Amino acid sequence: MGLIDKIFEAGVVGAGGAGFPTHLKYDCKTEYLIINGAECEPLLQTDKFLMRTFPEEIITALKEVAYILGVEKIFFALKEKYKREILALQRVVTETKANIEFFLMDSFYPAGDEQILVYEITGRTVPEGGIPLQVGAVVTNVGTLYNVYQALQDKVIIEKYVSVLGEVKKPRIVKVPIGTLITECIRAAGESVLEDYAVIIGGPMMGKKLTEKKEIEKAVISKTDGAVIVLPKDHYVIQRSQQEIEHIKSQAKAACIQCRSCTELCPRFLIGHHLEPHRIMRALVYSESVEIFKLAQLCCECGVCELYACPMGLSPRRVNSYLKNKIAEKYDGGRGDYSSHLMREYRKIPTERQVSRLNLAKYEHQLLEEKIDIRVMEVKIPLDQHIGVPAELVVKEGQIVKKGDLIGKAVNNALSANIHASLSGVVVSANQKEVIISKSSGGVL
């Protein structure tokens, strides 16, 4: 069985983003292979842990992927401050004589965005609404490569390493079965120091914010989740995420001063895209052409405009997200002449300044050196852990399954991925949305 087939069978998807099925991403030929070890969001440490702990596995998988892609150049992108991780990887590269070049970056946001990485390394701008492959590059995350290594060993993807930090007693890395409750992760970190708290699944800029106790208790870890951050409910980042869209629109109409800060600091604008958030905000007031609103489709929702740039506390990101869902007609850029902004180098957002602006500095020095494995009695496994079409349910209620068994089959000829049981036990609930497996039901242990 070839590597692509092994990746497909294992259910590997992008570990650091939307969860693009990896067997489809790697089914191409390209000039550049770029490994994303920059860990884009502040506070997150899972990728750093993987690079320190599994450098041999990551480099082994990297060489196999480079071979099937037929690449000419391999770049491993990390932040220059990741000294221990760089040394660990360089040792393996030297020992194996791998033809890999390290690209060391300043610490800025969003350094780990794949389009930013492509520009930094190749000088090429990915077309508006396009993908890196269009400019001869494939970008893959270190977590994805670790999972590719598992696929090479004929193992399926049923576990996830997660950073648990913030308002917890023992910040640490946890290794959990996919489908584990978020509350189990928090319990493994010694519980929260707060009685009432909010949770971010992912990073503080782009992660999913949960504030209600019921939704926190229902949330589970998926293949794409790399962090659980516990914060006070009244924290700045949490409060900004809870505003209703109608309130946000009213604020935009009443308070936008057209200072252009959202545009001047927009990472997409700075690499040459025609995204100008200030024009979209203005269009809300003056009902300009729908063509202006179409520009919202170029927004990657990184949050720079909302959480860093705007002096009035407005949310261009949320406005763009709202417009994406409202406008059916796609934006057709039709531009091939992308020129980065002359001031781009001076408008990169330093991570330290970003952390301070987000009021997260008290958590920045939580070093997650300790790793523990979590054992659970029940998992709730979503069938839509990837972008595209959810996997097709192939088990039924009452069925006994073993860890690693297929429970959701990738849909043929579609953007889809396999899903496997992360726990041996009995299927206590099964529908096209999720599968719940209990280890204790029916005497199965």
Is 229 inside any structural domain? yes
State whether 176 and 125 are in the same domain: no
Residue 109: its H or E element = strand 108-109
CATH number of the domain encompassing residue 196: 3.10.20.600
User: The domain containing residue 184 runs over which residues?
Assistant: 158-235+359-376
State whether 113 and 46 are in the same domain: yes
* Structure-model confidence comparison of residues 40 and 216, the more confident one: 216
pLDDT, tens digit, 9 for 90 and up, residues 90-107: 999 999 999 999 999 999
State whether 163 and 147 are in the same domain: no
CATH number of the domain encompassing residue 132: 3.40.50.11540
Q: What's the whole-number mean pLDDT along residues 156-183? A: 98
CATH number of the domain encompassing residue 251: 1.10.1060
State whether 115 and 26 are in the same domain: yes
State whether 48 and 140 are in the same domain: yes
State whether 48 and 129 are in the same domain: yes
First-residue to last-residue Cα distance in the chain: 33
State whether 370 and 385 are in the same domain: no
State whether 133 and 16 are in the same domain: yes
CATH number of the domain encompassing residue 431: 2.40.50
Counting the structural domains of the chain, the total is 4
CA dihedral 225, 229, 233, 235 (to 10 degrees): -120
Cα separation, 420 vs 340, in Å, equals 43
Quote the pLDDT of residue 327: 79
Is 193 inside any structural domain? yes
Q: What's the whole-number mean pLDDT along residues 318-338? A: 77
Cα separation, 158 vs 404, in Å, equals 7
Phi first, then psi: give them for residue 427, nearest 5 degrees.
-75, 110
Q: Which amino acid is at 289?
A: S
State whether 85 and 189 are in the same domain: no
State whether 10 and 141 are in the same domain: yes
Is 240 inside any structural domain? no
State whether 189 and 262 are in the same domain: no
**HSE (side-chain half, CA atoms, 13 Å) at 339:** 4
State whether 344 and 390 are in the same domain: no
Is 443 inside any structural domain? yes
pLDDT, tens digit, 9 for 90 and up, residues 284-298: 877 666 778 888 999
Cα separation, 32 vs 354, in Å, equals 30
